[in-house]
Amino acid sequence: MEVLVQESQLREAFVLVKRLFETWEAIMSRFRPNSELSRLNQAAGHPVVVSSLLFHVISEALEAARVTDGSFDPTLGLQLSALGYDRTWDAVLAHEPEAPHVAFSPSAAGWRKIHLSQRTHTVHCPPGMALDLGGIAKGMAVDAAIAQLQRVGLVPALVNAGGDLAVVGHPPDQGWPIAVGDPPGRRVILWHGALATSGIGRHRWRQGSQMRHHIVDPATGQSVENDVWRVTVAALTAKQAEVAAKVAFVRGPARGLRFLADLGLSGEIELKNGEVRTVGDWPSGQEDRSQ
């Protein structure tokens, strides 16, 4: 987590954002057995009353699945576990996951089978399903942190959570210079809104004889196999940028660029061969303006 504000505001801002992220992590983590999300997953097959925050994030995740026709799918928790991503990232790196003992299958549009009750904040997942809210929850937490800093007047501000970042205001006479690329090779200038990146440069591991990564194709239940190395997207919110980057990655270079263009978003797709393709008003020089 990274927070940038005026030096005199840094301590107060950092405490506020840290507390917010700790609350979200305690509720949303699928790696904590006592988190609210883990308890919900353990109760799959039964209706569960959840907190307003968890209900809100699940609702947003299902809406993202609906508008992307399942290219974004929050029901891939079991698939990620079967691929070996069943613990925190540091733990995955420390202990090479074993090959799965049994075959696993894709979720078959499992997100359509979740039933929500807005009146009672009840969530009913079918048996054998596990939600993974990691990406969208991270983006939404960044948006919530920015909103909180703005409410208490701690602006201009930038909040970054591992590739999902958002800003409010900007330093006098300049935007926020953001390093992009994998590894970062140039900068774009962000004036407002958010950026998110989905890529496989860091989150890769070996499971038996197979190389895995954390971006799962909902159609196969396997790590996505296409020519994309990284997608970075600019949007009004970190939630929107996160979802758009993930969907563009899953759909591949051509369909991913069309998807971003149809939404009117700017961004770039870096291929495994190093080629970079841009969409919208994304800068093409070494340093330029975005959003």
Percent of the chain scored above 70 by pLDDT?
Answer: 92
This prediction has a pTM of: 0.92
CA distances from 126 to 12, 40, 75, 258 (A): 43, 11, 10, 33
Q: Which of 176, 175, 158 is nearest to 167 (CA)?
A: 158
Q: Give residue-wise pLDDT tens across range 197-244.
A: 999 987 777 787 777 878 899 988 888 999 999 999 999 999 999 999
Please say whether the dihedral angle defined by the alpha carbons of residues 201, 138, 2 and 205, taken in this order, is positive or negative.
Answer: negative
Q: Give residue-wise pLDDT tens across range 93-138.
A: 677 777 665 556 655 458 999 999 999 999 999 998 999 998 999 9
Residue 104 has a pLDDT of 60
Check pLDDT > 60 for residue 81: yes
Check pLDDT > 80 for residue 182: no
Place of tokens 């759909």: 251
Q: How far is 131 from 119, CA to CA, in rounded Å?
A: 21
Domains of the chain: 170-291 (3.10.520.10)
Non-local CB neighbours of 155 within 8 Å, separated by 6+ positions: 5, 149, 168, 169
